[in-house]
Amino acid sequence: MKVFLDTNAVIFIHLGEKRYLSERALETFDEADELFISPMVLLELQFLEEIGRLRFSATEIMEYLQAVHGAVIDDPGFAFAVRKALTLSWTRDPFDRVITAHADVFEAPLITRDADIRTHYKKAVW
């Protein structure tokens, strides 16, 4: 099963704090055959590092997730995700919009803590 990780899930996993994920999110994570991260998550991670909310760069976090968990950046689906994001009018947050759309392009679960995403994306898990 292909599973996408939202920004907050990436941060918790990178910090070794999977205990912050719900039991359902952990099960989805453990059942994943493939872990994917939208390029939009990388951009959001970098923004968070630049404003001092993270002490690791997006590159450092992604390298860790690739090495330890086999996560990959889904570049080929990104153009489709941006087009699909044009239809998601329930949020004005560009990160949430594209990250959710990216998972939806593949009809894949999205592990996310974000309640708004969980309300609007039926395959969101936390």
pLDDT digits (tens, 9 = 90+) for 62-109: 999 999 999 999 877 788 899 999 999 999 999 999 999 999 999 999
Q: What pTM was computed for the model?
A: 0.85
Q: Please report the pLDDT score of residue 75 as a whole number.
A: 79
Q: How open is the CA angle 31-71-98, to the nearest 5 degrees?
A: 95
All structural domains of the chain, each given as residue ranges with its CATH number in brackets, are 2-125 (3.40.50.1010)
Kind and range of the H or E run holding 23: helix 23-31
Q: What pLDDT, on the 0 to 100 scale, is given for residue 42?
A: 92
